[in-house]
Chains A and B, each alone.
Chain A
Amino acid sequence: MAVVSPPVTLLPAEAPLANAEVLRIRNDFPILGTEVNGRPLVYLDSGATSQNPVSVLEAEQEFYEQRNAAVHRGAHTLAVEATDAYEAARAAVAGFINARPDELVWTSNATEAINLVAYAMSNAAAGRGGAQAERFRVGPGDTIVVTEMEHHANLIPWQELAARTGAELRFLPVDDEGALRLEGATGVITPATKILAFTHASNVLGTINPVAELVRLAKEVGALTLLDACQSVPHLPVDVKALDVDFLVLSGHKMLGPTGIGALYGRSELLNAMPPFLTGGSMITTVTMERAEYLPAPNRFEAGTQRISQAIALGAAANYLSETGMHRIEAWEGELGARLVEGLTAIEGIRVLGPRAGLPRIGLAAFDVAGVHAHDVGQFLDEQGIAVRVGHHCAQPLHRRLGLTATTRASTYLYNTTDEVDFFLEAVAGVRPFFGAR
């Protein structure tokens, strides 16, 4: 079906990505040809939000021009076509992480997906969902475990769940380099632990966490696992079955898709045993004035009119990434990340957070510039057309742990070239001299 158009660039599958091909890929992204402050845009903020290829933009436009109708409601032709396109997108995104379509719930973003699980658990704690929801019940004496490197999105929903239910929130600490310290993990992840929620790749440190080990620790005590894959799914091959996690969340806008769409993956038997979070139309079977019965997953978690065009566009994004090849993207960004860290480390007065040069990291680097505040660094770079993120990157506890309040972060994607990284490094070298930092 011509629902999701194929990527504009068709590539030989095995050859590693190189600058020449990246330059062709860039042609698929209209915004990368624009200027900022009279300079060509050097977009190094894909960790915050990524740019969209033409195939994604067209998928959304084509939906509105040719198929716009409510899905799963009504029998007219447009409604059927819209529903087909919507479900094909679900299959594309599910397939992208090796899940089944019925294991993928659409949400607005990763934040909503995490809240969905947290609220489902407190609904279970309040007695909803019957006997089969027992696994999700949390209360006094139970613990919820996260790590010290979490994005606020994977911290605050759990703080709130703990506060609502009387459970205790505990965390796995990080060391001075930002690596998870697992020596004492069995003292934190205990039989009282109901869920272990942790990030796959850190949006600040670039570290890739040892998922297998953490999943093993959780399974040993019968705890559920939730993986925040916001910074991994866009950048490396992710297979939910191989990772063996119970839940995984992702955000569409970080993987070439539009804003307003994300997803929750959950193992089928868990999703079907979990009480719903949002309730209303489209998620029910039989409704009386007193009560309602719910559809199986994923629809039981998709109350109300859904983000149809965004889902379809995200399906196109997943296809674009698949056809480019996630292994190739991972390798290319590994190269860019290494170049970033090596280059930054060589500049006087720069402290790079996270793994040292030579150790694995995703293609991003957050850093502190001695004597210059991150906001000033960002302003300086913006003047040269370089877009980076400054601040605490929604990870205040991690920054506090590392003795910082704000850092500058450059994050790459498949469309960045080594020339852009070099241009950025050259610009960063000019920061301390400009501000007269001593």
Chain B
Amino acid sequence: MATNLEQLYQQIILDHARERHGSGLLEKTGPGSVGESHQLNPVCGDEITLRTVVDGGTVASLSWDGAGCAISMASASVLTDLMEGLERDEAVRLIDAFREVMRSRGTIPADEEVLGDAAAFSGVSRYPARVKCAMLAWVALEESLLAANS
């Protein structure tokens, strides 16, 4: 059954939900400033604490601790892979691009060139109840970048 379900839970998502890149908060060791954000979805209890180190305008490292559904956990994992090493401004652009896709109710397909593995979450935008799950880590990164800036 190449079903709606398989479009929602693409293999990349299922794999990342198990592997969880970046899971486990890292203490800052090198240079740069740290930003941290805690996000909670009160509807389902999904939770994430995400820590970023920004060094010379670059997202130097990203780590997180979280509990939640496959979509929220996979999203945090994919985010980690995608963002590490990017310019801060580029990271913010990607967050905005991802949010636009998620809020589109399936009308805006993700550009794989831009969003990489995160394009696998396109199907989530058709399930308004799950958009928050996919966005959780991205909002946490957005906030922690601001925190690292201040």
* Contact indicator A372/B4 (Cβ below 8 Å): no
B125 to chain A, nearest CB (A): 14
* Contact indicator B70/A391 (Cβ below 8 Å): no
> With a CB–CB cut-off of 8 A, which chain A residues contact B43?
391
> How far is B3's CA from A376's CA once the two chains are assembled, in angstroms?
15
Report the nearest A residue to B3, measured CB to CB: A383
* Contact indicator B44/A390 (Cβ below 8 Å): yes
8 Å CB contact of A383 from B4, B71, B73, B130 = B4
Is B82 engaged at the interface, CB distance under 8 Å to the other chain?
no
Interface string of A411-438 (1 = CB under 8 A from B): 0000000000000000000000011101
Report the nearest A residue to B67, measured CB to CB: A405
8 Å CB contact of A391 from B9, B14, B17, B44 = B44
* Contact indicator A379/B8 (Cβ below 8 Å): yes
8 Å CB contact of A379 from B5, B17, B68 = B5
* Contact indicator B127/A379 (Cβ below 8 Å): yes
> With a CB–CB cut-off of 8 A, which chain B residues contact A37?
4
Within 8 A of B (CB), among A105-153: none
Interface string of B45-86 (1 = CB under 8 A from A): 110000000000000000000011111010000000000000
> How far is B18's CA from A299's CA once the two chains are assembled, in angstroms?
58
> With a CB–CB cut-off of 8 A, which chain A residues contact B8?
379
Within 8 A of B (CB), among A349-406: 372-376, 379-380, 383, 390-392, 405-406
* Contact indicator A406/B45 (Cβ below 8 Å): yes
> How far is B14's CA from A434's CA once the two chains are assembled, in angstroms?
9
> With a CB–CB cut-off of 8 A, which chain A residues contact B9?
376, 434-435
* Contact indicator B69/A383 (Cβ below 8 Å): no
Tier of interface size on chain B: 20 to 34
Is B101 engaged at the interface, CB distance under 8 Å to the other chain?
no
> With a CB–CB cut-off of 8 A, which chain A residues contact B137?
none
Greatest chain B CB density within 10 A among A379, A405, A435, A438 is at A379
* Contact indicator A376/B45 (Cβ below 8 Å): no
Contact flag A379-B130 (CB < 8 Å), given A373-B70, A406-B44, A435-B70 = yes
> How far is B4's CA from A434's CA once the two chains are assembled, in angstroms?
13
Is B133 engaged at the interface, CB distance under 8 Å to the other chain?
yes
* Contact indicator A375/B67 (Cβ below 8 Å): no
* Contact indicator A376/B67 (Cβ below 8 Å): no
> With a CB–CB cut-off of 8 A, which chain A residues contact B44?
374-375, 390-391, 406
B106 to chain A, nearest CB (A): 15
> With a CB–CB cut-off of 8 A, which chain B residues contact A376?
9, 69-71
> With a CB–CB cut-off of 8 A, which chain B residues contact A383?
3-5
> How far is B17's CA from A438's CA once the two chains are assembled, in angstroms?
12
Contact flag A392-B45 (CB < 8 Å), given A373-B68, A375-B69, A383-B3 = yes
> With a CB–CB cut-off of 8 A, which chain A residues contact B45?
391-392, 405-406
B135 to chain A, nearest CB (A): 14
> How far is B130's CA from A374's CA once the two chains are assembled, in angstroms?
13
> How far is B73's CA from A375's CA once the two chains are assembled, in angstroms?
12
> How far is B14's CA from A438's CA once the two chains are assembled, in angstroms?
12
> With a CB–CB cut-off of 8 A, which chain B residues contact A372?
70
> How far is B91's CA from A98's CA once the two chains are assembled, in angstroms?
65
> With a CB–CB cut-off of 8 A, which chain A residues contact B5?
379-380, 383, 434
Report the nearest B residue to A436, measured CB to CB: B14
* Contact indicator B69/A436 (Cβ below 8 Å): no
> How far is B14's CA from A380's CA once the two chains are assembled, in angstroms?
13
* Contact indicator A373/B4 (Cβ below 8 Å): no
8 Å CB contact of B14 from A405, A406, A435 = A435
> With a CB–CB cut-off of 8 A, which chain A residues contact B69?
373-376
> With a CB–CB cut-off of 8 A, which chain B residues contact A436?
14, 18
> With a CB–CB cut-off of 8 A, which chain B residues contact A392?
45
> With a CB–CB cut-off of 8 A, which chain B residues contact A438?
18
Interface string of B77-121 (1 = CB under 8 A from A): 000000000000000000000000000000000000000000000
Report the nearest A residue to B4, measured CB to CB: A383
Report the nearest B residue to A405, measured CB to CB: B45
B1 to chain A, nearest CB (A): 9
Known: A375-B69, A375-B130, A406-B45. 8 other contacts (CB 8 A): A373-B69, A375-B133, A376-B70, A376-B71, A379-B127, A383-B4, A391-B44, A435-B9
Chain A residues with CB under 8 Å of chain B are 37, 372-376, 379-380, 383, 390-392, 405-406, 434-436, 438
**8 closest residue pairs by CB, A with B:** A373-B69, A375-B69, A405-B45, A383-B5, A376-B70, A376-B69, A375-B44, A406-B45
29 contacts between A and B (CB under 8 A): A37-B4, A372-B70, A373-B68, A373-B69, A373-B70, A373-B73, A374-B44, A375-B44, A375-B68, A375-B71, A376-B69, A376-B71, A379-B5, A379-B127, A379-B130, A383-B3, A383-B4, A390-B44, A391-B45, A392-B45, A405-B67, A406-B44, A406-B45, A434-B5, A434-B9, A435-B9, A435-B17, A436-B14, A436-B18
